[in-house]
Every structure is written in structure tokens, then in C-alpha cells.
Amino acid sequence: MTINLELKKISDAFIRVKNDINSIKTYMNKVYLKNQNQDNDILKLQRQVEMLTKEIISIKNTTVKKNPNATIINGEEVIVIGNNDSMMAHRSACPYGQKVTKEHRISLDNIEDAVKKGYKLCACLKEK
Ligand SMILES: [Zn+2]
């Protein structure tokens, strides 16, 4: 399949998703207006909407990686480093990661590499 055909398919899929999102908004407004007292149903609906939102956001995480082994967090390629004194792993941009001294700073391939080598993960390496 040519790239142009692939792009066309992606673009068509996005148009369908956009239309579906508009339908979801319309239906949600109707449901909220009609069922203002049925809190459980509304909460259930809100949770489903949150899950769908996460699915849509996860599309970002399929962006082409410059380094195929790199860790992607919230759609961003991150450099993972370890502190071999505290045995904590951080992204290089983390304020705690930046405080790691040169002698204790270990370069890691990705989160899996960090875990395999016995590092605990700082909150900076979790999806938000
Ligand atoms: Zn950190």
C-alpha cells in the first residue's frame, strides 16, 4: 500500500472519529438534561467517556520513534537515566534526575531496561 493511500485511510478514519465525537457530545447533552437525578448512570457514562478519551490520546503514543527502543510517555520520547546510588530511574528532564551526580548517573535504554536492572521508577516515568 502506498503512503498516500495510508494517509487517506488515516484521514478518513479521523473524519469518522470527529463525527462520532460530535454525536457523543449531542447524546451526552440529551442524557444530562433528561436524567439529572440518576447520578449512577451519569457517572458510568462519564467513566466511559474518560476511557474513550484515553484511547484517543493513546494515538499520540504510536508516533514514529527516532529510537525504536525508546520509552514514549504522553506521546513524547524520553531519555531514561538511573541513579545507581538510590537505584531510582528518572527521565533526564526530571528535576530529581537532573540532580543525579555524574558518578551515579547511568544511561538506560528505556523503562524496561531500568526495571530489568533493578531500578525503581520515579513518578516522572509514569503516564499522566
Ligand atoms: Zn524523576
As residues whose CB is below 5 A from the ion ligand 1, the structure lists 90, 94, 96-97, 122, 124
**63 C-alpha to center of ligand 1: Å?**
23
| Amino acid 53: pLDDT | 86
**88 C-alpha to center of ligand 1: Å?**
8
Query: What dotted CATH number matches 71-125?
Result: 3.40.10
**87 C-alpha to center of ligand 1: Å?**
12
Greater confidence (1 vs 54) lies with: 54
108 φ/ψ angles, rounded to the nearest 5 degrees: -120, 150
**126 C-alpha to center of ligand 1: Å?**
9
Greater confidence (60 vs 6) lies with: 6
| Amino acid 58: pLDDT | 80
pTM recorded for the entire structure = 0.49
**95 C-alpha to center of ligand 1: Å?**
7
pLDDT in tens, 55-86: 888 877 666 666 777 888 877 888 999 999 99
User: For the CA atoms of 46, 52, 53, 56, what is the dihedral angle to 10 degrees?
Assistant: -170
| Amino acid 77: pLDDT | 85
**36 C-alpha to center of ligand 1: Å?**
42
Q: Beta-carbon neighbour count of residue 57 at 10 Å?
A: 12
| Amino acid 76: pLDDT | 80
Confidence of residue 41 (pLDDT cuts 50, 70, 90): confident
